[in-house]
Amino acid sequence: MASGLPAHVEEADLISYGLIGLISAIERFDLGREIKFETYAIPRIRGAIIDELRSLDWVPRSVRARAREIERANAKLEHKLQRAPTDEEMANELEMSMEDFQEALVQISHSTIAALDELWTVSDSSGDQISLLDTLQDPDAPDPEKIVDQSELKDRVADAIARLPEREKLVIALYYYENLTLREIGEVLGVTESRISQLHTKAVLRLRSRLQGEDENGDAP
């Protein structure tokens, strides 16, 4: 979680924020569900850290605005080209130099920590953000409609990931499914941690723009 955050964000603070999620997981874990406690707890710990970082509002508005611009440009070019746009095409669309585009990705990467996890969360009846893992069917309180909705969301995310360029897809797989750090992924692929951070950021922005586009249009582009 600490990878890519500004230097002033202390690891000890992240641990403290995570403990809030851990305590919540301990209190809410249902032994009747056939999942490991670790599987249940990790999303809550991540969510608690993300919520606290958001409350600190450490990301400049200009960076968030730039991220939205890149998401819109990506959606426009994907619709036009029927494929994922290249960095050069994105830079041209945004009327930026390649150097400025790459620098923007680095800045945005600081605001997208565990961003993909957000795509897998929903709100429960109390308004709390919970992982989709928390919504597995409970024999004491079945809700078929919600289960269908969550299954559709997982399918949409999986489809969006499958359409990523191969290198970005690999970064997503190693980061979110193999739990490697950005530095470790860089070592695997033989590139710098900064480059991996850029690839991760591009992948997350592509996923967001695709899912938001589907929500606005009512179906996939």
- Residue 116 pLDDT greater than 50, yes or no: no
Angle value at C-alpha 199, between 134 and 114, nearest 5 degrees: 25
> Per mean pLDDT, which range of 78-92, 108-122, 168-182, 201-215 is the poorest?
108-122
List of residues 6+ apart from 38 with CB closer than 8 A = none
- Residue 92 pLDDT greater than 90, yes or no: yes
Our CA dihedral for 111, 113, 118, 119, rounded to 10 degrees, sits at 90
CA proximity to 45, closest of 130, 120, 123: 130
Give the pLDDT mean for 163-188: 87
Instruction: Read off the tokens for 119.
Output: 């795509």
Half-sphere exposure of 85 (CA within 13 A, CB side): 25
* pTM higher than 0.75: no
Instruction: Read off the tokens for 178.
Output: 């193999």
- Residue 167 pLDDT greater than 80, yes or no: yes
Give the pLDDT mean for 12-23: 87
Fold of 60-217: Arc Repressor Mutant, subunit A (1.10.10)
Determine the longest span between alpha carbons in the chain, in angstroms. Answer: 57
147 vs 17, higher pLDDT: 17
Our CA dihedral for 212, 214, 218, 220, rounded to 10 degrees, sits at 180
71 vs 132, higher pLDDT: 71
